[in-house]
Amino acid sequence: MRQILTFCTIAALLCALAAPAPAAEYRVGEGEEYAKLSDVAGKLRPGDTVTVTSDISDSPTIENSGRLGQPITIRGEISGGRRPRITNVPEETDILRITGSYVTVRGLALAPADPARARWGSGIWTTGTQIVVENCVFENCWEGFGCRNAEARVRLDRCEFVDCGAWFHGSAVKIYAAGAGGQAIVRNCAFRGGTGATHVHSYCKRLRVEGCWFDSPYYSSLKCADNWTQRTTEVSYPQHCDIVGNVFVQGDGPGPPWSILQLGGEGQTSPGMEGDLNVAHNLILVSRGGSEPGTALLVHGNVDRLRLYNNVILSTVAGGKFYERGTTWADAERTRRFAEMHGRRDPEILGSNNWIGESCIGVPDSLEGTVRGVNPGFVDLVGGDLRPAKGSPPANAGAARLPLGCVDSLLPALEPRRHIPADAELRERPAEEIPTIGPFAAAGRAPVEGDASEILLSMPAPERRFPWPLDWERALQAARRLAAAGEGPKALEAARAALILAPTEEELRPDIIEALSGVVEMAEGSGERAEAFARFALLGPAGADGEEGTADDLEEALSGVGTGFLWASDEEIEAVDRRCDDAAAIVKEAGHYAESGVLWYASEKALARANAGRFEAAAAMLGELLIEASRLPSGTGPDSLEHRLNREVQERAEAGLSAVYRAGSGTFAGADEFVTTCRDYMTYGPAGPDAEYGTDDDLTPPL
């Protein structure tokens, strides 16, 4: 009996020793027992939680690991809708490094103390696996989240990335996980702006990007490619990618307009993923044109199948491409093997029920049930509510039976959001018997009052390099809404604002004036003032003969109407300035096309003032901008990337100056000549091109 008792006692003792220790909780921040995460990093064990209660400056490394069901959790204590912020200490570039595994980070804001000095630093950098990051914000990081582990399994939920990236090397998210067990999931995240590279750059065995909102990348929004940088480790083929239920807005930025989605391979030593690319229920807006219009989907190298279901593709510029086949690296050994195995080098393209704008080119013939149109019929295109309105072409018009993806279903479970509040939960997509094309379920309501999308999308598609940078669409739609509501004086203010901010292309002017004269007629209740407005807006005070002081001179019909619609507080302007200054600091430090990048952000600050009706301040800043732009190097010629970026800065400045002119004149007449005079004066000075005073080409200050 004594032996049995002794055995039981020993067994009980061993069980007690084997049982996990109680999870510990640590509080870090001002006034807490521990001031920094670094103070507790070495103490952490599976199941432990660290709560950050205030902003801190720290660059900790989490070396310890949790375990399945017992991760180490680092969480921010959210107060008043604000996440605690962690900035790096001056001697370190990374903010948080995780070399352990089974670690969860939640509810933090991560930003470098000085964006210009955080060279190659990451908000979070990990070499672990089973890493989860939830509800975090990354701002001005050279790399927001980075992972390098061939077998890593990573999940990002409800995170926001603002102005992250640096040249080619740093992206908002960059994940190397190309081993047989590698997998990354990016869900319900928001990406806004970019100071280099791409929003999400993936070298993964399996990747799923679902329910995210991508807006204005530097190069591309998503790059999913073969993993050449891990050629010293085991890389597993084929590699697959699910891109499901996202919004991709090409927008504008200081970088060149590469493709929105760049998929497949990267070069001679990385000629393709060799697997499936599944693109379903996305909304892709192509908005950059010029000599090299934007492309929604660019596929390089060895890809087995490209499957496209229930997507909305809309181009607002001439020549925007839906699909383009890129480089194949035909003489690469892996390409030869791929072609022998599949009997082809190009991907098999399958899919159905895509809504594609009529201005898009490059639509594969193999797609079934494609719907072409001008206006997809969103609830509020101008205001950013991109849900299909009731009865719109995409509403309940999708294919219901889709193939399985590489990670999960190609029917999205989540809907994107443009901004991630601190208290945000995953946004589930409502179930539908017949799914709606695109990332959102049908709204079940009509477009907003005064919706201007039909007018805007029916205009000739311009060939400019960038989206029009002034808020004329917002002013037009507000004018239509106010006029319909019987608020005539406010409608006229908004109409005048729309005229001031409208695009300058000559081929667009008749449509612009027709739309605005319709608002004036609705606001006035008669057509007389609307006709006078239209004539003056097009011809100016000199009338049809172009000479003032003659019988056909005209008077401005909206003379005396203010621009109170155009308004922003000092705080709003200061917020724009801070964001631009921080982003410009990163671009300047990165050194690639730095001069044009810095001036692009200067133009953004000036145009913000024009959008707010502060035309005197805008004029001063735009004049200085033209002087600086005239000094930029032109690159190797007019077709060089450097030259195109520099010219874009000048064109943005000229757009603002045209608005300044129309604010004072109320007409398009003479605007082009005014802009040309400004450009010449800022380039040559008062002596003109011959640099001699008292000659015929002397110039007077136009501003």
Which of 5 and 566 is assigned the larger pLDDT?
566
Average pLDDT over every residue of 184-205: 94
Measure the CA–CA gap between 428 and 426, rounded to whole angstroms: 6
- The pair of three-digit structure tokens given for residue 615, joined into one six-digit string: 């035309």
Q: What is the pLDDT of residue 6?
A: 55
What is the distance in angstroms between the CA of the first residue and the CA of the last residue of the chain? 105
pLDDT classification of 232: cutoffs 50, 70, 90: very low
Strand 378-380 and strand 385-388: the pairing is: antiparallel
- The pair of three-digit structure tokens given for residue 270, joined into one six-digit string: 């990385």
pLDDT at 663 over 70: yes
List, for residues 113-133, the tens digit of each pLDDT value: 888 776 678 999 999 999 999
Which neighbouring-strand residues pair with 155?
132, 185
Which neighbouring-strand residues pair with 104?
73, 132
Highest-scoring range by mean pLDDT, 287-291, 379-383, 560-564:
379-383
Q: What is the pLDDT of residue 389?
A: 97
List, for residues 459-491, the tens digit of each pLDDT value: 988 878 889 999 999 999 999 999 999 999 999
> Degrees (nearest 5) of the Cα angle 311, 313, 314?
150
**Window from 64-68, 153-157, 288-292 with minimum mean pLDDT:** 288-292
DSSP characters over 129-190: SSEEEES-EEES-SEEEEEE-TT-EEEEES-EEES--BBTTB-SEEEEE-STT-EEEEES-E
Q: What is the pLDDT of residue 72?
A: 98
Question: How big is the chain by its Cα radius of gyration, in Å?
Answer: 28
pLDDT at 549 over 60: yes
Report percent pLDDT > 90 for the chain.
74
Q: What is the pLDDT of residue 233?
A: 59
Average pLDDT over every residue of 567-582: 94
**What is the chain's mean pLDDT, rounded?**
91
Measure the CA–CA gap between 499 and 488, rounded to whole angstroms: 16
Which of 588 and 536 is assigned the larger pLDDT?
536
Measure the CA–CA gap between 632 and 82, rounded to whole angstroms: 41
CB of 302 closer than 8 Å to CB of 338:
yes
CA distances from 77 to 47, 82, 83, 423, 440 (A): 18, 9, 7, 11, 32
List Cβ neighbours of 282 (8 Å cut-off, separation of 6 or more). 243, 244, 245, 246, 247, 248, 311, 312, 438, 439
Measure the CA–CA gap between 298 and 223, rounded to whole angstroms: 10
Which of 563 and 72 is assigned the larger pLDDT?
72
For residue 271, whether the previous peptide bond is cis, meaning omega lies within 30 degrees of 0, is: no
Residue 653 phi/psi, 5-degree rounding, is -65, -40
**Window from 146-155, 161-170, 441-450, 499-508 with minimum mean pLDDT:** 161-170
CA distances from 273 to 177, 198, 239, 260, 582 (A): 13, 18, 5, 18, 36
- The pair of three-digit structure tokens given for residue 297, joined into one six-digit string: 């989907």
User: Would you state the torsion angle of the CA atoms of residues 534, 535, 537, 541, taken in this order, to the nearest 10 degrees?
Assistant: -150
Which neighbouring-strand residues pair with 146?
125, 174
List, for residues 257-274, the tens digit of each pLDDT value: 789 999 999 888 889 999
Measure the CA–CA gap between 693 and 700, rounded to whole angstroms: 11
pLDDT classification of 2: cutoffs 50, 70, 90: very low
Q: How many residues does the chain have?
A: 703
Q: Is 70 exposed, middle or buried (0-12, 13-18, 19+ CB in 10 A)?
A: middle
Average pLDDT over every residue of 18-45: 90
Q: What residue has token string 């010293």?
A: 232
Three-class DSSP category at 35: coil
DSSP characters over 662-701: HHHHSSSTTHHHHHHHHHHHHHH-TTTTTT-TTSTT----
CB of 240 closer than 8 Å to CB of 203:
no
